[in-house]
Structure 1
Amino acid sequence: MSTRSLTHAVASGMAVLALTACGGGGSETATTAASKESTNTSKADAANLVVRARASLLANAGALMQLRVNGIAVADTEVRETSYQNYSFSVPSIAGGDKVDVVFTNDANANGEDRNLYVESITVNGTTVAATAEGVTLDRGIGDKAFDGLDVIPGQRSVLWNGALRFTAPGSTVIASTLSPGCKAFYEARPGFALSTARTLVTAATLAKPAKGAVLAEPDYGTCFTRATNHAADGVATFARNDYARRQAFNADSTRHLIYALDGHWHLYDAHTHARLKVLPYLAADAEPQWHASNPDLLYYLPTNGVGMQIHELNTATGATRVVTNLSARLKTRWPGANAAWTRSEGSPSKDGRYWCLMVDDANWNSLGVITWDRDTDTIVGTKNTNGVRPDHVSMSPSGNYCVVSGDDASGTVAYSRDFSQSKKLLHKSEHSDLAIDANGDDVYVSVDYQANVGDIFLVNLRTGVRTFLLPSYLNGSTTALHLSGKGFNKPGWVLLSTYADTVNRQWFHRKLMAVELKANPQVHTLAFTRVTSNEYWSEPHASVNRDFTKVLFNSNWNTGSATDVDAYMVQIPAGALKSTGLPGTPGTPPPAEPLTVAVGSVTHAGYNASYVLTTNQAAACRASWSTGNSYGALYDDIAASANGLTHTKSLSLGSTGAQTVYAVCKATATGAEKEVAIQLP
């Protein structure tokens, strides 16, 4: 990652919405402005919102509970029951994905009594969501401060302060709503749409650079495709691009995304209309913005390059900012020369935003150590000395159980437990990679291995340490550069792959965006061509996927070869488009791959010269070895292949004329499986 220049920015405000609708409640009387005007309620809207709640009283007064839908007050009541009761309301229609706030407005404590509201759950259109469910938050504050997104904690039953307990209404439209209206209509007009599974070499269809915002079908793969930025028209300096594949570009509900410019400014864009909304205040260059996991308005950020060792929170709607934590004093106690705490711009916190892995540098950028910080308790839960060996970057795993330190020193890439008491080596160096969640819910490290296996794309399960081959990036003498994005946390079992900078002999996976299943013999869906002609760092696609794996933001110079004339483009797919091929033995699952076998054919040995022929049962590449126990990637003496990779012929010059044994290691092209064979030279 390149160090970015400083930036300045502006803020904007948010309107406060007023009480407008009606409601009624269980054993209590619920009143609203609308109910005073009319007692007529449509049957479809009857009792469509139920809050299961209780209260503790003060001075014989219960808890005042107000309900809001998408910021608009729709009902209120006094909760007096001290055991949980259902409070039922008839309010205007609530759709899946709508925001429902249960607001407590009269917290008080006096004379040994404490008035509080307790909410067990809400039920919307017959579906119940617990107050402790993932994504529910409690925004603490009086009046407007209950909606400012500044003092937010995970949802809980005990609402012990004035504040808004915020839910997302359940329903099938929650995920579908992440599509822009244009792409939603695009797929509604194509009910038979299915993602491509073809692994064929094709040349990208000619396509003029689209107008910004125009909805079109990607000509080769049929996905909904739009141009998200036009840096010249948008007034963005030099380029308007997605920052990095390992950074989540989209906010919690996929309605906004980040754009980075060469002058160090960060811009906020509407992910549906593609309108540039504003320059974000306070963020400069390597500020490492990270979206809040559930609040779509909130964004965490660091001082540039982590100098000052603080983490801030920005409300992108209002421009308000606050310091979430100041680690300076604690880190200086541990390392007196501590000056910066960051991931080096390529890491991210856990899926829920609670745990952060940060590397600590001194003023001369010498590495001091690595820490794990717990946002919810504001505590440092683990530290590790690096003894001056600076990682390439660090990142927290999605579960928050592992701090992954990626380095090019002898230690390579290592997953440490949160407290650094245990470790597991994942790779011998730092490569383009990301951390993702597999179909079983385990953290996995997905990477390319150019050294040992000439470009295998693989995963390692952080819990078990098991390594699984996914795809080759080296085929028929051609390799490629690539990036991975594992940020589709709500669609476990998939990773986004973007490729660029291919060499001779183009292959089917070059210059594309692909959804890759996280399992052996994976399903691969090509989403689009990137139309990138690679020219240094800023031209790389750096594709990033949203949490639901319905939106992909990537960069392209549109085959101009420019290093900086780069804009962002977006591909959107329906929520149900990615379908796992299932577990072995279940319907629809392809049979396990046939094991690689290697047979020794004719062998000749005359004096110092010898030759042999190998045959494999599937396409493979083979390399010669003088000793046993080597991997394919550790060898360099290629064996010539023919017959589509099924026949392999080798001639040798020997160091002696006596009988001896030599070896060969073959690697299957499709699966990456390796097999060693011994060749007896009589």
Structure 2
Amino acid sequence: MRPRFLAAAFVLFCVAAFLNLREAGSQGSNASGFVAPVAMALPELLHPAVDPAFGTSVVRITKPGPLGNGVVCGPKYCSHRYSSAQAWNADQTLLLLANGCNGMCFLDGHTYVALFWRNRGGECEWHPRNAELMICVQGRTVSTWAPRTNHEDILFTSADYHDLQFGPSKGNPSRDGSRIAVRAVRKDGADVVFAYDLDHREKYPDIDLSRVPGKASSCTISPLGAYILCFQNLPDGTEQRAVFNVDGTLRQRWTDHHRPGHGDLTVDSDGSEVYVGISKSDPDKFHIIKRRLSDGKVTSLTAYGQAEHASTRAVAKGDWVFLSYGGDPAEVAANPGWAPYAREIIALRIDGSGAVRRMVQTRNPPSDYWSETHASPSPDGTQVIWSSNWGVPGGPVYEFVARLDWREHQNPKEVVANDQP
């Protein structure tokens, strides 16, 4: 099917889905209580369907085997990289599948037709402003790379460091794409992190990670480039957080376990940089919380719930966090004091108002890591990519994109949920 025809068909479908959503009544996005699972057949590949629970348009974009133009999905899963990693480029013309594909696999960002694949090492994340570029870290180098042309420009290289990493896994550039945090092993064997300014090709001072207890698992620059947030694993299983200024000053140590974790960074309405995720410590265990990088202040945003991952990749909707909920629907239904979401993707406003957008039921019973939902929105928040085994634990894990229409939800009071702490 031709991409132009797919695009036209999708526009017509979205009109129908919008009308269907308006008729969804108490089961639409404004519903604040538990919504029981609604059966839905597995959508055909690249054929838009409607989620019967919330009226949202859904497209399945993968299947095991060839997708076209040399792109091939593995038999078990084929997915975007992670909830806190941006899957789309800056103008949403390209969509990246990084797990279970035969390399880095690029789809059309709107029709989801397979376009091309690249075989390269290292860790690469989309540049948030330049749609043609990714920022890559590998070996001894930091570079920018254009996937369409396969052209690479080396920005930083040094014999004084090796094993450079972008995170690993949880690294993101600053919102303007000017800074990243680079993990490295210095020539004296020290495990360090440093900020790097891509625009000015300027390296900031080394931060020796042995200064704080535990083993650093990952580090990332903050959205405004002011801080480096590092995740520290202690021998007793506690996962702590350390916040450094880019000059190396230790600003905060969060010694409570996973408070929060499985989260993402964004900028609050007052300009503060915050980490939003799932707390695994009292007094807000299994709440969604935000924690301010400057002083560690914690704000609980929901009641106890079954959220698994949080993403703030929708920069244009920076005051919303996209949440992937797992859990057993029967258990959630039996506990009215809990956040009323099970196997569902929602967006939650982080201003404390309780405003919620209910998006789609994932039909994704627990199985393994690769089948976790890991919802990640596009930069403008109109699309969200997610994974599901579609009711078959151990079966193939497919990728889906839900298309979102924010226009009918201008007033947060229309979507205030009853799950506040």
- 1:222 CA drift (Å): 0.8
Distance 1:579 1:310, change over 3 A: farther
> What is the Cα deviation at residue 501 of structure 1?
4.6
Instruction: Tell me the equivalent position of 2:314.
Output: 488
Residues 440 and 391 from structure 1, CA distance in 2 versus in 1: closer, same or farther, beyond 3 angstroms?
same
2 CA distance for matches of 1:263 and 1:275?
14
2:204 partner SS:
strand
CA–CA distance in 2 between the matches of 1:511 and 1:442? 31
Match of 1:185 among 5, 9, 12: 12
Q: Conserved in 2, the CA contact under 8 Å of 1:438 and 1:494?
A: no
SS for the counterpart of 1:201 is coil
Q: Return the match for 1:221 from 54, 59, 69.
A: 54
Q: Give the counterpart of 2:163 among 335, 339, 358.
A: 339
The alignment-based identity, stated in percent, is: 23
Q: In the TM superposition, what are the counterparts of 1:535-554 in structure 2 within 5 Å?
A: 535-554=367-386
Partner of residue 357, structure 2: 525
The 5-angstrom pairing of residues 462-501 of structure 1 reads: 462-463=293-294, 465-474=296-305, 480-501=306-327
Residue of structure 2 in register with 1:558 after alignment: 390
CA contact (8 A) 1:494 1:518 kept: yes
Question: Structure 1's 589 and 204: CA in aligned 2 closer, same or farther, altered over 3 A?
Answer: closer
Matching residue of 1:569: 400
1:57-72 matched pairs, under 5 angstroms: none
1:454 to 2:277 alignment: no
Point out where structure 1 has 5 or more consecutive residues left out of the alignment: 1-178, 333-337, 475-479, 583-587, 594-668, 673-682
Report the Cα offset of residue 521 of structure 1: 3.6
Stretch of structure 1 that moved more, 236-245 or 293-302: 293-302
The match for 2:263 is 433
Per-residue deviation, residues 244-298 of structure 1 (Å, max 9, x unmatched): 001000111112111124366210011222111111232x3xx322112222222
TM-aligned CA distance change 1:339 to 1:290, over 3 Å: closer
Letter in 2 for 1:253: D
Residue of structure 2 equivalent to 1:9? none
Please state whether the residue corresponding to 2:210 is helix, strand or coil.
coil
Aligned equivalent of 1:506: 332
Distance 1:519 1:461, change over 3 A: same
Kept in 1: contact 2:365–2:393 (CA 8 A)? yes
Question: Residue 465 of structure 1: CA displacement?
Answer: 3.7
Query: 1:242 is matched with which residue?
Result: 80
Q: Is the 8 A contact 2:371 2:397 kept in 1?
A: yes
> Hey, what does 1:258 align to over in structure 2?
96
Are residues 1:300 and 2:123 paired? Answer: no
Q: Say whether 1:372 aligns with 2:174.
A: no
Compute the RMSD of aligned alpha carbons: 2.9
- State how far apart, in whole Å, the 2-side matches of 1:209 and 1:419 are: 51
Q: Deviations over 1:35-54 (max 9, x none)?
A: xxxxxxxxxxxxxxxxxxxx
User: What amino acid is aligned across from residue 462 of structure 1 in structure 2?
Assistant: L
Distance 1:403 1:197, change over 3 A: same
How has the CA–CA distance of structure 1 residues 281 and 670 changed in structure 2, closer, same or farther, with 3 Å as cutoff?
closer
Is 1:209 aligned to 2:42, yes or no? Answer: yes
Q: What do residues 149-195 of structure 1 show as CA deviations (whole Å, max 9, x unaligned)?
A: xxxxxxxxxxxxxxxxxxxxxxxxxxxxxx96555433434369566
Distance 1:670 1:541, change over 3 A: closer
Shift of the 576–503 alpha-carbon distance from structure 1 to 2, 3 Å rule, reads closer
Instruction: Please give the per-residue CA displacement for 1:304-348, whole angstroms capped at 9, x wherever unaligned.
Output: xxxx2312322222222232322x33x44xxxxx43333111121
1:233, CA displacement in angstroms?
Answer: 4.2
Q: CA deviation at 1:481?
A: 5.0
The offset of 1:434, in angstroms, is: 0.8
Larger RCO of the pair (alpha carbons < 8 Å, separation 6+) = 2
* 1:359 counterpart = 2:183: yes
2:123 is matched with which residue: 283, 288, 295? 288
Structure 2 residue corresponding to 1:386, chosen from 191, 204, 209: 209
Deviation at 1:504, TM superposition (A): 6.6
Residues 457 and 279 (structure 1), Cα distance of their counterparts in 2 relative to 1, 3 Å cut: same
Residues of 1 paired with 2:43 and 2:329: CA distance?
A: 27
Kept after mapping to 2: 8 A contact 1:445/1:460: yes
Deviation (angstroms), 1:485: 0.7
For residues 445 and 466 of structure 1, the distance between their equivalents in structure 2, rounded to whole angstroms, comes to 10
Structure 2 match to 1:272: 110
Q: CA 1:428–1:345 in structure 2 vs 1: closer, same or farther (change >3 Å)?
A: same
Equivalences, count: 391
Q: Distance in 2 between matches of 1:546 and 1:445?
A: 19
Q: Report the 3-state secondary structure (helix = DSSP H, G, I; strand = E; otherwise coil) of the residue aligned with 2:205.
A: strand
Q: Distance in 2 between matches of 1:375 and 1:578?
A: 38
Cα distance in 2 for residues equivalent to 1:191 and 1:210: 20
Partner of 2:149: 318
Contact 1:481–1:502 under 8 Å retained in 2 = no
- Structure-1-length-normalised TM-score: 0.53
Residue 228 of structure 2 is aligned with which of 387, 403, 407? 403
Equivalent residue, structure 2, for 1:652: none
Matched AA of 2:125: Q
2:64 is aligned with what amino acid?
H
The 8 Å contact of residues 409 and 415 in structure 2, kept in 1 or not, is answered as: no
Cα deviation digits, residues 117-166 of structure 1 (max 9, x gap): xxxxxxxxxxxxxxxxxxxxxxxxxxxxxxxxxxxxxxxxxxxxxxxxxx
* Letter of the structure 2 residue corresponding to residue 265 of structure 1: G
Amino acid at match of 2:279: D
Unpaired stretches in structure 2, ≥5 consecutive residues: 1-5, 23-27, 334-339
Structure 1 residues 579 and 192 mapped into 2: Cα distance closer, same or farther (>3 Å)? farther
Q: Deviations over 1:188-207 (max 9, x none)?
A: 34369566132322332211
In structure 2, C-alpha distance between the alignment counterparts of 1:355 and 1:379, rounded to whole Å: 9
**TM-score, normalised to structure 2's length?**
0.84
Cα distance between partner residues in 2 of 1:290 and 1:236:
21
